Amino acid sequence: MTELADMIRIGIVNGDVARIQNGRGVMLSVQHGTVWITQTDSVADVFLNAGESFRLDRDGRTLVSPCGPEPLALVTLASSSRTAPLAKRVAAGLRRMWTGLRRVPWRASLN
């Protein structure tokens, strides 16, 4: 399950390019329009229409650009399923540490 905090929705105007750096594993979904996707060191470009998705399969630079007749494309980027659990574990560890720190009695020293 992808949480809202793990998702970013962007609008890309015709003539502009969205750049994603080291996005391996990110799920790119098109809500409106048509986009062209090209990835570093890939010979196969990808074209997606509204309702279609593609998981970025390599690191490096990925370029996403509208390529249809619509004036813009609306795209959602969802974080990689392999990095989301790590972020949740780190957040849980920090929460436990903070809870532990709050329980330590604090004594003021009067020097």
pLDDT grade for 7, boundaries at 50, 70 and 90: confident
Q: How many domains does the chain have?
A: 1
In a domain, 89, yes or no: yes
In a domain, 110, yes or no: no
In a domain, 109, yes or no: no
In a domain, 93, yes or no: yes
In a domain, 88, yes or no: yes
Q: What is the CATH number of the domain that holds 47?
A: 2.60.120.10
pTM exceeds 0.75: no
What is the pLDDT averaged over residues 53-78?
A: 93
Closest CA to 75 of 12, 3, 1: 12
C-alpha to C-alpha distance for 2 and 19, rounded to whole angstroms: 22
Closest CA to 36 of 8, 64, 13: 64
In a domain, 108, yes or no: no
Are 88 and 53 spatial neighbours (Cβ–Cβ below 8 Å)?
no
Highest mean pLDDT among 7-11, 36-40, 105-109: 36-40
- Residue span of the structural domain in which 57 resides: 4-103
